[in-house]
Structure 1
Amino acid sequence: MADAEFIAQPPGPCCFVGTIHQGTPRGKIEKILNVPTYIARPAEDKSNGHVVFYFPDVWGLSNNASLLMDGFADAGYLTLGMDYFNGDPISKYRPSKNDPLPEGFDLGAWRTKHSTFAAENVPKWAAAVREKFGSERTKYACVGYCFGAPYVCNMLATDHVSAGAFAHPTFLKEENFTPIKHPLLLSCAEHDHAFNTEARRKAIDVLQRDKKVYHLQLFYGVGHGFATKADLDDPYQLWCKDQSLKGIIDWFDLWLVRS
């Protein structure tokens, strides 16, 4: 049953399914403020000098997430992904995509533990990234998938980023949207139990009421997780995943590179 307190519902079973993507990530994991961080660096001749903060879904710094971050790096952005699960993502409890969560697994406790840590430490981590990798000309963007959506909204309420995006979000309330000061792209699935048609319309109503700058992508026929865990053997799912990434990159280019 949906919790009326939320526009986008907390992570649940629809967040745990998906396909593990094949490929070899090019980035490296380093510690920033003692938090594991995946760092994808663009080629020197392609770098635009700007930075993307990446906030992962419940699979954490998975192979899928690493390959997505490499995609942002290919577009010229130094991209850093924070492991706010500290090595304790949902995939730890599901060795393969077909495995159920263990009997007795306390999802509520898991969500509370990691959302509490993230809420406290994302701002500190982002500040440390700006200190280590920023310069006078550096601009910042942020992207979040599922669990990562609230941290995008939080950053967009500050003057530390120029634009943000999220895909198939969870854990969002009206109060996450109202303080936003910078452009937001919403990349959404038609069939998303966590962010269904009614929820999307409510979110857009809030953004329009408060005259926020936003753009909505809505992909027919796909479900929650399409942008990170699509079945890449299905040409349409692959296209939706790729178009979501391309759309977010173009959004960032607009506000960080071309503005």
Structure 2
Amino acid sequence: MAPPAETYLAIPPGDHCLSGNLHTGDTRGKTETIEEAPTYITTPQHGNDNGNILFYYPDVHGFYNNSLLLMDAFADAGYHVFGIDYFRDDPIWKHQNADKSVKPDFDRAAWRDKHVAFAKATVPKWTKAIADKYGKDTTKYVCAGYCFGATYVLDSLTKGFISAGAFAHPGSLTEEQFQNVDKPLLLSCAEKDHAFPPGKRNKAQAILEEGQKKYQVQLFQGVSHGFAVRCNLEDPYERYVKEQSYRGIVEWFNFWLSQ
């Protein structure tokens, strides 16, 4: 059963998740199945391997060029990256029309409930299976989530083995999840985000502050939900914000893993 609406600080995915731009470029990872979930695996290049693992929790569009390129970028920063397709080849974009509206026969609530159930059951055992197979005694772990994936960042930072996390333009986050965070968290946010509006964002920050959690807030003016993955790269400011979000997350992870 979903939490009561009033407990959400970031609302579940909706129309705000459907807009944005597709990015072009060649991806280099491979896909294999781990714990019944298609998994994108991409590794560091050019000898900059830091020996650590980053778990990537995608937005409602799942595995598409934007998310694959972003995972490759995290690998370029030195991380072995594992991304989970908890939609199992049923991303939201397959239910959209050419104008990015959803098809009239699409049951969004049923789609969301189905994939949330799978993700909540699978993400914990998926991360553990990867750690068992690919991790070493010296390996440390971080996680990054976007939109739909943000909730699994907070869940992963609750007394687990993952050392730090970050999310951008989140969805489906409750007060309780922020209260339970036990590891460093970076929040990459748009100043005005329908899914995570200022009042709710400030309340989340207050919960983190009152609980003496380790956190940082990135706040970007002039962009909207999806800015860190689906921005217009032809717009210099939108490109800058996307890149700053990425760099901030990498620097956050690098710092906490160096402690």
**TM tier, smaller:** over 0.9
1:243 maps to a residue whose letter is Q
- The yes-or-no answer on 1:64 pairing with 2:66 is yes
Please give the secondary structure, in 2, of the residue aligned with 1:166: strand
> Which stretches of structure 1, 4 residues or longer, exceed 2 Å deviation after superposition?
none
1:215 maps to a residue whose letter is Q
Please give the secondary structure, in 2, of the residue aligned with 1:226: coil
User: Which residue does 1:47 correspond to in 2?
Assistant: 49
Structure 2 Cα separation of the partners of residues 44 and 121 of structure 1: 33
1:89 maps to a residue whose letter is P
1:19 to 18, 21, 32: 21
Consecutive unaligned residues in structure 2, runs of 5 or more? none
Structure 2 Cα separation of the partners of residues 185 and 172 of structure 1: 14
TM-fit CA distance, 1:95: 6.1
TM-fit CA distance, 1:195: 0.2
What TM-score do the two structures reach when normalised by structure 1? 0.96
Q: Deviations over 1:26-68 (max 9, x none)?
A: 1111111221001111126110000000000000011100000
Q: How does 1:87-102 map to 2 (within 5 A)?
A: 87-94=89-96, 96=98, 98-102=99-103
Q: Deviations over 1:92-142 (max 9, x none)?
A: 11265x332111311111111101110011001111110111000000000
Structure 2 Cα separation of the partners of residues 203 and 224 of structure 1: 17
Is the 2:67–2:229 Cα contact (8 Å) retained in structure 1?
Answer: yes
Structure 2 Cα separation of the partners of residues 250 and 38 of structure 1: 23
1:129 maps to a residue whose letter is I
Consecutive unaligned residues in structure 1, runs of 5 or more? none
TM-fit CA distance, 1:210: 0.6
TM-fit CA distance, 1:3: 3.4
Please give the secondary structure, in 2, of the residue aligned with 1:84: coil
2:177 maps to a residue whose letter is N
What TM-score do the two structures reach when normalised by structure 2? 0.96
1:153 maps to a residue whose letter is L
User: Which residue does 2:224 correspond to in 1?
Assistant: 223
User: Which residue does 1:75 correspond to in 2?
Assistant: 77
1:123 maps to a residue whose letter is P
- The yes-or-no answer on 1:152 pairing with 2:163 is no
Structure 1 Cα separation of the partners of residues 168 and 24 of structure 2: 21
Q: How does 1:158-177 map to 2 (within 5 A)?
A: 158-177=159-178
User: Which residue does 2:183 correspond to in 1?
Assistant: 182
User: Which residue does 1:104 correspond to in 2?
Assistant: 105
Structure 2 Cα separation of the partners of residues 159 and 199 of structure 1: 26
Structure 2 Cα separation of the partners of residues 31 and 223 of structure 1: 33
Aligned length: 256
TM-fit CA distance, 1:144: 0.4
Structure 1 Cα separation of the partners of residues 113 and 143 of structure 2: 23
User: Which residue does 1:139 correspond to in 2?
Assistant: 140
TM-fit CA distance, 1:5: 2.3
Structure 1 Cα separation of the partners of residues 78 and 190 of structure 2: 27
User: Which residue does 2:34 correspond to in 1?
Assistant: 32
1:171 maps to a residue whose letter is S
Please give the secondary structure, in 2, of the residue aligned with 1:54: strand
**Range 151-160 or range 197-206, more displaced:** 151-160
1:141 maps to a residue whose letter is V
User: Which residue does 2:118 correspond to in 1?
Assistant: 117
Structure 2 Cα separation of the partners of residues 10 and 184 of structure 1: 20
User: Which residue does 1:244 correspond to in 2?
Assistant: 245
